[in-house]
């Protein structure tokens, strides 16, 4: 009889341990991981007099995860950067979209203008300033607005 009680308690103890460590929280839904990329979409508004057409070779919205000290800094990262499609010229307002933006913080977000047919001839026309200029991408869509004032262009490289 003593052996049966001992055997019963041993089996009971092992069963409790197996059940305790084997529990996977029952019907609790699994935690979904965020998408590894997100989308930045927004509106750009313009004021002031537009530059001549020959100074508007290309015009894009560009989110940067770093503050460049020169155009060369940007060109060194060119293969990993995402940009919007080309923006319209001589309009009061336009919309842009950048998809497949890797999750992370983007700290220098600009409307970039190639102003000559030279790969190094780029300048910012407008800088995103809301939320201290930082855009956080975390697998979803972030909506922003940015303003370009042609009478008061931002310095480049940016003042830190």
Map out the domains of the chain with their CATH numbers: 37-149 (2.60.40)
Q: What confidence category does residue 76 fall into, taking pLDDT thresholds of 50, 70 and 90?
A: confident
Give me 80's structure tokens: 């990993």
**How much is the pTM?**
0.76
Q: Please provide the average confidence, as pLDDT, over all residues in the chain.
A: 87
Q: Could you read off the pLDDT of 1-35 as tens digits, one per residue?
A: 556 666 666 665 566 665 666 555 556 666 666 67
24-61 in b/e form (b: 16+ CB < 10 A) is: eeeeeeeeeeeeebbbbebebebeeeeeeeeebeebbb
Query: How far is Cα 109 from Cα 146, in angstroms, rounded to an integer?
Result: 9
* For the chain, percent of residues with pLDDT exceeding 90: 65
The 10s digit of each residue's pLDDT in 25-67 is 556 666 666 679 999 999 999 999 999 999 999 999 999 999 9
Within 13 Å of residue 81, how many CA atoms lie on the same side as its CB?
Answer: 21
pLDDT per residue as tens digits for the range 97-138: 999 999 999 999 999 999 999 888 999 999 999 999 999 999
């Amino acid at each position: 009889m003593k052996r049966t009680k001992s055997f019963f308690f041993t089996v009971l103890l092992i069963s409790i341990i197996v059940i305790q460590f084997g529990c996977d929280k029952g019907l609790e839904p699994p935690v979904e991981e965020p998408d590894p990329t997100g989308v930045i979409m927004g509106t750009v508004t313009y004021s002031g007099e537009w530059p001549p057409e020959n100074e508007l070779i290309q015009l894009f919205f560009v989110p940067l995860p770093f503050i460049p000290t020169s155009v060369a800094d940007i060109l060194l990262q060119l293969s990993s950067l995402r940009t919007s499609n080309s923006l319209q010229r001589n309009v009061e307002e336009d919309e842009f979209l950048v998809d497949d933006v890797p999750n992370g913080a983007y700290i220098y977000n600009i409307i970039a203008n190639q102003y000559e047919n030279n790969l190094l001839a780029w300048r910012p026309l407008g800088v995103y300033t809301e939320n201290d200029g930082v855009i956080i991408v975390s697998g979803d869509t972030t909506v922003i607005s940015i303003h370009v004032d042609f009478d008061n262009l931002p310095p480049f490289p940016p003042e830190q």
